[in-house]
Structure 1
Amino acid sequence: AEHARSRVAVSCDVAGGRLVIEVADDGPGFSPAALERGCERLFTDDSSRSSRDGGRHYGLGLHAASEAASAHGGSVS
């Protein structure tokens, strides 16, 4: 939970016959650009390029999640 301040919550539910998986944390959130483009391959928000511990971000996490969801008829929003 690198971007969370102190917690990450994961919940699952069924709505309209579909599985809904929600992941939420108490981190700083996404910039407007990241909300719009966050699932694009290799997109990184300038504020998230480097983590607090010096690690790098390559814009693959949300893209991979989106592709996996799409392969099963779902989406990331």
Structure 2
Amino acid sequence: MEGTLEQHLEETMKSPAVVGVLCTDSQGLNLGCEGTLSDEHAGIISVLAQQAAKLTSDPTDTPVVCLESD
């Protein structure tokens, strides 16, 4: 699984608009990151994903949080 996650992180980073990508578990543990994100961001990203999950009534939906700026 670790190799697959690393492949997804690397694929995501190939997009010119992406400067960082981070995956966490439900406890905020960093599972992998690339670019400008690091372990210190894992807890914040995890909380954002938990809050995003509350926006849907479908328990099978997996939240994806995208932060954008100009």
TM-score when scaled to structure 2?
Answer: 0.33
Q: Which has the higher helix share?
A: 2
TM-score when scaled to structure 1?
Answer: 0.31
Larger Rg: 1
